[in-house]
Amino acid sequence: MTDTNAKIRIDGLSKNYGDFTALQPTHLDIPRGELLTLLGPSGSGKTTLLQMVSGLTPATSGRLWIDGADWTGRALHERGMGLVFQHYALFPHMTVAENVAFPLKMRKLPDVDVKRRVAETLEKVQLDAFAHRFPRELSGGQQQRVALARCFVFRPEIILMDEPLGALDKALRETMQLEIRRLHREFETTLIYVTHDQEEALVLSDRICVMNHARVEQVGTPHQIYSDPETLFAATFIGHSNILKGRIDGVANNGLTRIATGSGNFVGRMGARDTEAGEHALIVRPEQLRLGSANGEGMNEVTARLRDIVYIGSDNRLILSLPDGTEFNARQDPANVSGLNVGDEIKVHWPIEAGRIVS
Amino acid sequence: MTKTPFKSLNRRSLLATGAAALAVPMLGRKANAQVTSLTVADPGGPFAQGYRKAFYDPFAKETGIEIVSVARDAEPTAQFKSIVETDSYIWDVCTLTLSARLILEQQDLLDPLNLDPALTSDFMSGAAHSNFLGIDVYSSVFAYNSEAVGKPPSNWAEYWDVENFPGRRALRKNPIDTLEQALMADGVAAADLYPLDVDRAFAKLDEIKDKVSVWWTGGAQTSQLLQSGEVDMTTGWNARLQAAIDSGAPAQIVWNQGLYSIEGWGLPKGGPKADAAREFVAFCARPEQQALFTDDLSYGPTNLRAYDFIDPERAKVLTTAPQNLEGMTLADEAWWQENRAEMAERFELWLLT
Amino acid sequence: MSVAQTISRVQSWRPKFGPIWLAAPALAFVAVFLLWPMARLIGLSIQDADTAAFTLDHYQKLVDTPVYSRILGITFRISVLTAFFSVLLGYPLASWLASLPSHKRNKWLFLVLLPFWTSYLVKTFAWMIMLGDKGLINSILTGTGMAEDSLSLMYNELGVLIGMVHAMMPLAILTMVPVMANVDNRLSLAAGSMGARRSQRFWLIEFPLTMPGVAAGGLLTFITSLGFFIVPAYLGGRGQTMLAQIIIMQVQQLVNWAFAAVLSVMLVAAALVAIWFYDRLFGLSTLTSASSTSGKKHGQWLRFLAQKVLSLLAWLSSPFDRLGQSTSERRPFKFAYVLIIFVFLLAPAMIVLPLAFTSDRTLAFPPPGYSLRWFEFYFNSPIWISATIRSFGVAFATAIVATCLGGLAALALARSDSRYGKAIFALMLAPMIVPRIVIAVGLFYLMAQIGLVASNIGLIIGHTLLAVPFTFITIGAVLKGYDWRLNDAAATLGAGRITVLRLITLPLLRGGIISAALFAFVTSFDELTIALFISGGLKSTLPKQMWDDMYLQLNPTLAAVSVVVLVIVTLLLIAAQKVQKK
């Protein structure tokens, strides 16, 4: 932990409520200008972590460093961070313009500047026509844009967002995700974003911090986490995974690890921080599976029964049953599927480097 | 809105119509030839208790006619009117104040009592009328706390003199009695009180206005004021003041310059049980019966011969004991009848300015 | 039976007139027993007493006689001050209650409800014992040397205000709490994250959002205060005469109906002016809804002015930001304040309790010894017992009638989007808005003509009139949360209308209906003003008997009766809470 470039350094922050642990001691460095997503199911501790950074919740232990200074005990209103909540937290008794002007007024900016910056920001989120409406007169997407404008208007160096798009429908959510990316780039802020939606995390993030059971499972770029999940949880929470449970059965000659499962022995890459003891699982992404027998080295192969073919738009999904009953999914171009019937015995294979062994 | 109802239903008669209907179920009683019970309206509370012992139970024992007692309003004139006008005699006998008697007599709503004059020969003056038999006498006087007041006032002039007779004082928040007290404090002789010289009374009241700690509204308040030590002296009705003394308050009543009035029986005109009712009223004239209620009520009996049957110690606290009655005057109900509304208004204004 | 058949049957059951007609009985009731008497009073006030000719003489008298404009002024002043202090002092407590989780809040709210439902007589009576020159508070002050001489706490405006604020603060709190609980406290945190300090957060965010509750609390306490007569009569001095006292005097002593009517019209006018202002500023519908965001939109200048004032207040209070800031979880100042207000609210009951068990004949406090003699006296006194029985009977009947009328009216409004909805709503709340004393005078006039004075039915009608707004609001609130699709679901499964009502609707609304009935019961059980006029001296209810006793003989019986009443009301409130929880 010597990276002095970190804008935010989370240095062992933890939170207990009596006997209940909301967050185990957590270490995390967030460089200036990064968009980091805290991703995890509810109860994973991601919101707790965010609230400790924002100052809404005092930490049980640990310190928070911003630009190398200790901010652990700073009062909420002195932190100058921008917060966006899932419920928007728009002041219902103020107009859109008044809401957006609020943080500027708190900073005692001259009225002229306030007016100018409010107008500018509202224009950026395409709400200039709604400046004198009240929040309740706006749609959900518009309300969220007000919340974003109110946050970005005072150019905070750090912005924290807690599931800000959770209440919106899918189409609107996707538009807003792009909007947030654009604003983030434009204002060059450091942004921590909490979500339980893996797709959203993949779209938005520079890095993703996967959390579960009050602790961090894995931190990395979306690509790293997708292709190299370090834990079973990280593997299953992001993207579809086929899971084969088994035991480690020594190291293969090419340096990869052998695993014995109920449907046969396979080879895969060992996860970064895994030991060989105990239960393990082989993870294979559905798009890695190919139909037919393996021709050549470096492939795992298995025979399976085709249970169903599901049309999902661009691809077809094949639902397969392995010998030990494990369900496998394979994504295939519709062209490859013609001629297959439900109930057929078929062979599938995948490159051994594509398989990942985690505990 | 039609006009006629207001012609016929002005003022009291309005209430009359109302109370009339509630009495309908009682009508059947009129048919009873043999009277077995009388309904008597009294002020309720301790009165009901005292009267039962003195009159109701002994009368029932002697005649076999049971007395049912009900509590009546402070001024039952409206009910009386409705009883007579709608021919629904829910009460056979009712206690009336002298002021109520006056109103009812003017409207011809009272039955004559036809009392044997011998029965009332020992009555105090003003107590026996042809349609009204006074039973008890109450008086508006003042009392002081004998522990707190070193030098007690002995008349209204001294009550007004806050310099020489210091102490927290209370007066009634009502012009009745208070105006008379002010005039007597200003030196008007009791005999010359009526008609009241109102301007003079208010001028005298001005003197004490800001020195009055409490303006009381209900009789029970005066007992409480004395008992709790809230004030050192207060005006009030003798029985309420006596109640404080009986409860252990170290207080003394000053009878001098008191204003007394009389409460007694009257009969609604044309009642079906008028004869039995008259019999009951005559029974109440007996001195030995009257003496009995003084055990519970510290009001004076109207039949002065009742004192033959009353313990001299007890007599000291009764209105009509000769030594108390001596310095007192009968309040003039007729004057108040005439001027009450106007006085109430003027008094309120005076209080507020 | 096929689905199609079932549906056609369901449709054929539709009544020929809309559900809005369910409000008809309640509306008729209010019209006959409130609007008609009001109209009669207005009529009386502009008619000559003897000739019934049109005249403005009575109003002329009001103008010509300075005493009445003065009393009107006093009444206004005391009511405004009472409303102001009730809201001001009650606000922190209400905000504390609103911040509690709901199960805890209900427990503490109980301590607010208890003094709310304690009769004014009991409360006033207890204050008399506490505030006197030799009273409890002065004994403590002089005894401990905190004051050299007794303070004048009673028989002046201070005494009246103490008594009235005590009586009205629970109403203010109960009105404010739901609004405050509905304010999203995350908004204040959001403002904090944007740089707002404590004072700014309070004045710019929290306070404006609770404003509808504050205003509703102020309005209700103001209107209720207008009709007070017990407190000023017993705790006031010569300068504190209120209009209601004069109205009672005009009716009962001077029998001047026309002038009583004029004064009543004045009281109602004062209430209507207050309501008009409220409607302009907040919108009437906010009176019963807990939402802080609905309501009126205001003109620019008004908003601008309000914002400037609030900014100024925030600036003025900013020096106090540090108080309690360091310990954000525990706020010793707030806690101490909450404690003090609770002591203030509960003190009268605490005083009456030991007095009821005194062995003495006086109301000396603390009692020299303890006994049950006053309870014995109460239970052996036919007068008290018959008054108690009558009160129970009348309250029971009131609970049933008011619940039926109010419930049907609430059902009508919930099931219909008639354009008369707003008018019906206003009419149903009218008995709450017209000062009680005026309702009582108007009813007395009407009942005297139709022969219901001094009858139990007259009392039940009067009490039902007062209780109907309560039942209407309570049942209306549960109906808001009721899922009407359940009825359709039951109907498609073959249940008839009555069956649906019996097996689906009523069981689901049971809690609301029972608590509405209990509130109606307590309203009646505790009611004095109507009883004062309608009981006619013959049909005394318990509060009327207590009033008479307070006038005739102040002794510990009153304390004993108060305790009995207190116990009954407490049991009913506990029952209501239990039922609401389910």
The CATH number covering residue A292 comes to 2.40.50.140
Average pLDDT value for chain C: 83
Of A83, A86, A104, A106, which to mutate for an interface test with C (greatest number of C Cβ within 10 Å)? A106
pLDDT of amino acid C299: 63
Of C179, C187, C194, C292, which to mutate for an interface test with A (greatest number of A Cβ within 10 Å)? C194
Task: Judge whether C425 and C431 are in contact, CB under 8 Å.
Answer: no
pLDDT over 80 at C211, yes or no: yes
Domain co-membership, A295 together with A167: no
ipTM topping 0.95: no
Task: Give A89's contacts in chain C (Cβ within 8 Å).
Answer: 184, 186-187, 189-190
Task: Judge whether C436 and C534 are in contact, CB under 8 Å.
Answer: no
CA nearest neighbour of C53 among C44, C62, C41, C40: C44
Does the bond joining A58 to the residue before it have cis omega, within 30 degrees of 0? no
pLDDT over 60 at A209, yes or no: yes
Question: pLDDT (tens digit, 9 = 90+) per residue, A270-303?
Answer: 776 656 566 788 888 888 888 888 777 778 888 8
CB contact under 8 A, A89 and C189: yes
Specify the amino acid at residue A280.
H
Q: How far is C298 from chain A (nearest CA, A)?
A: 10
Q: How far is C29 from chain B (nearest CA, A)?
A: 20
The span from the CA of C81 to the CA of A236, in Å, is 66
Question: pLDDT (tens digit, 9 = 90+) per residue, C124-143?
Answer: 888 988 998 888 888 888 88
CB contact under 8 A, C186 and A85: yes
Q: Does C256 touch chain B (CB under 8 A)?
A: yes
Task: Judge whether A325 and A238 are in contact, CB under 8 Å.
Answer: no
Task: Give B229's contacts in chain C (Cβ within 8 Å).
Answer: 133-134
Task: Judge whether C433 and C271 are in contact, CB under 8 Å.
Answer: yes
Highest mean pLDDT among A315-319, B212-216, C17-21: B212-216
Specify the amino acid at residue C320.
F
pLDDT of amino acid C330: 57
Selecting from C195, C208, C293 the residue whose C-beta is nearest the C-beta of A103 gives C195
Per-residue pLDDT of chain B (353 residues), as tens digits, is 333 333 333 433 444 443 433 333 333 333 334 788 898 988 877 788 889 999 999 999 999 999 988 777 667 776 777 777 767 777 899 999 888 898 889 888 899 999 888 888 889 988 999 999 999 999 999 999 999 888 899 999 999 999 999 999 999 999 999 999 999 999 999 889 989 999 999 999 999 999 999 999 888 888 888 888 889 999 999 988 988 888 888 999 999 999 999 999 999 998 899 999 999 999 999 999 999 999 888 899 999 999 999 999 899 889 999 888 888 999 998 899 889 888 988 999 899 88
pLDDT of amino acid C538: 63
CA nearest neighbour of C476 among C535, C399, C424: C424
Domain co-membership, A122 together with A48: yes
DSSP state of B303: B
The span from the CA of A262 to the CA of A279, in Å, is 13
Judging contact as 3 or more Cβ pairs under 8 Å, the answer for A and C is yes
Domain co-membership, A207 together with A247: no
Residues C343-362: what's their mean pLDDT? 88
| B32 CB-near residues (< 8 Å, 6+ apart) | B272
pLDDT of amino acid B22: 37
Residues C389-402: what's their mean pLDDT? 94
pLDDT over 90 at A211, yes or no: yes
Bigger pLDDT: C19 or B242? Answer: B242
Query: Does residue A71 sit in helix, strand or coil?
Result: coil
CATH of B4-137+262-320, one of 3.40.50.10490, 1.10.240.10, 3.40.190.10, 2.40.160.20: 3.40.190.10
Judging contact as 3 or more Cβ pairs under 8 Å, the answer for C and B is yes
CA nearest neighbour of C446 among C430, C432, C457, C434: C457
Among the three residues A177, A200, A227, which one is the final residue of a domain in this structure?
A: A227
What is the span of the domain harbouring residue A246? 241-358
Q: Do domains B4-137+262-320 and B138-261+330-352 have the same CATH topology?
A: yes
CA nearest neighbour of C253 among B174, B138, B193: B174
CA nearest neighbour of C115 among C348, C301, C423: C348
The span from the CA of A204 to the CA of B91, in Å, is 93
Q: How far is C335 from chain B (nearest CA, A)?
A: 35
Is the Cα dihedral B106, B109, B115, B119 positive or negative? negative
| Within-domain flag for A232 | no
Task: Give A134's contacts in chain C (Cβ within 8 Å).
Answer: 297
Question: pLDDT (tens digit, 9 = 90+) per residue, A224-266?
Answer: 888 888 888 888 888 888 888 888 877 776 778 888 888 888 8
Phi, psi dihedral angles at A329 (to 5 degrees): -115, 140
Q: pLDDT band at C537, cuts 50/70/90?
A: low
DSSP state of A271: P
pLDDT over 70 at A214, yes or no: yes
The span from the CA of C101 to the CA of C91, in Å, is 18
Beta bridge partners of B144: B233, B252
CB contact under 8 A, A106 and C194: yes
Q: Give this prediction's pTM.
A: 0.82
Task: Judge whether B272 and B28 are in contact, CB under 8 Å.
Answer: no
Q: How far is C287 from chain A (nearest CA, A)?
A: 18
Specify the amino acid at residue A185.
R
Phi, psi dihedral angles at C58 (to 5 degrees): -65, -40
Q: pLDDT band at C389, cuts 50/70/90?
A: very high
Task: Give C237's contacts in chain B (Cβ within 8 Å).
Answer: 214-215
Task: Give A17's contacts in chain C (Cβ within 8 Å).
Answer: none
CB contact under 8 A, C451 and B17: yes
CA nearest neighbour of C220 among C179, C159, C183: C179
pLDDT of amino acid C575: 81
Selecting from C66, C67, C553 the residue whose C-beta is nearest the C-beta of B243 gives C553
**Would you list which residues of chain C are within 8 Å, Cβ to Cβ, of chain A?**
184, 186-187, 189-197, 200-201, 204-205, 208-209, 211, 292-293, 297, 325
Determine what percent of chain A falls in helix, strand and coil, rounding each to the nearest 5: 30, 35, 35
Q: Does C380 touch chain B (CB under 8 A)?
A: no
pLDDT of amino acid A118: 94
Q: How far is B262 from chain C (nearest CA, A)?
A: 18
Strands (E), C504-555: none
Domain co-membership, A25 together with A94: yes
CB contact under 8 A, B46 and C553: yes
Q: Does C244 touch chain B (CB under 8 A)?
A: no
Q: How far is B121 from chain C (nearest CA, A)?
A: 33
CATH code for position A157: 3.40.50.300
User: What does the DSSP assignment read for C91-137?
Assistant: HHHHHHHHHS-HHHHHHHHHHHHHHHHS-HHHHHHHHHHHHSTTSHH
| Within-domain flag for A262 | yes
- For residue B150, how many C-alpha atoms fall within 13 Å in the half-sphere facing its CB? 2
Selecting from B223, B243, B344 the residue whose C-beta is nearest the C-beta of C249 gives B344
Instruction: Point out the least confidently predicted range of A105-109, C297-301, C534-538.
Output: C297-301
The span from the CA of C328 to the CA of C330, in Å, is 6
Q: How far is C427 from chain A (nearest CA, A)?
A: 29
Q: Does B230 touch chain C (CB under 8 A)?
A: yes
Percent of chain C with pLDDT over 70: 91
Task: Give C133's contacts in chain B (Cβ within 8 Å).
Answer: 168, 213, 229-231
DSSP state of C504: I
Task: Judge whether A285 and A356 are in contact, CB under 8 Å.
Answer: no
**Which residue of chain A comes nearest to C209, CA vs CA?**
A93
Q: Does C369 touch chain B (CB under 8 A)?
A: no
Domain co-membership, A164 together with A62: yes
Residues C311-332: what's their mean pLDDT? 68
Domain co-membership, A170 together with A304: no
| Within-domain flag for A35 | yes
User: What does the DSSP assignment read for C382-418?
Assistant: HHHHHHHHHHHHHHHHHHHHHHHHHHHHHHHHHH---
Q: Does C548 touch chain B (CB under 8 A)?
A: yes
Among the three residues A173, A201, A227, which one is the final residue of a domain in this structure?
A: A227
The span from the CA of A225 to the CA of A228, in Å, is 5
Domain co-membership, A151 together with A260: no
Task: Judge whether A206 and A181 are in contact, CB under 8 Å.
Answer: no
CA distances from A195 to A41, A44, A167, A222, B157 (A): 8, 11, 12, 14, 90
CB contact under 8 A, B215 and C155: yes
Task: Judge whether C176 and C215 are in contact, CB under 8 Å.
Answer: no
Tell me the pairing of strands B233-237 and B128-129: unpaired
Q: Does C257 touch chain B (CB under 8 A)?
A: yes
Of A74, A77, A118, which to mutate for an interface test with C (greatest number of C Cβ within 10 Å)? A77
**Which residue of chain A comes nearest to C295, CA vs CA?**
A93
pLDDT of amino acid A273: 60
Selecting from C190, C195, C208 the residue whose C-beta is nearest the C-beta of A93 gives C208
Query: Does residue B259 sit in helix, strand or coil?
Result: strand
Domain co-membership, A88 together with A127: yes
Domain residue ranges of chain B, discontinuous segments joined by +: 4-137+262-320, 138-261+330-352
pLDDT of amino acid B25: 37
CA nearest neighbour of C163 among C86, C102, C111: C86
CB contact under 8 A, C293 and A81: no
Q: What is the CATH number of domain B138-261+330-352?
A: 3.40.190.10
The span from the CA of C532 to the CA of C543, in Å, is 9
Give how many domains chain A has, as a whole number.
2
**Which residue of chain C comes nearest to A103, CA vs CA?**
C194
Domain co-membership, A187 together with A267: no
Domain co-membership, A36 together with A100: yes
Domain co-membership, A47 together with A195: yes
Selecting from C193, C205, C292 the residue whose C-beta is nearest the C-beta of A83 gives C193
Q: How far is A154 from chain C (nearest CA, A)?
A: 9
Domain co-membership, A95 together with A145: yes
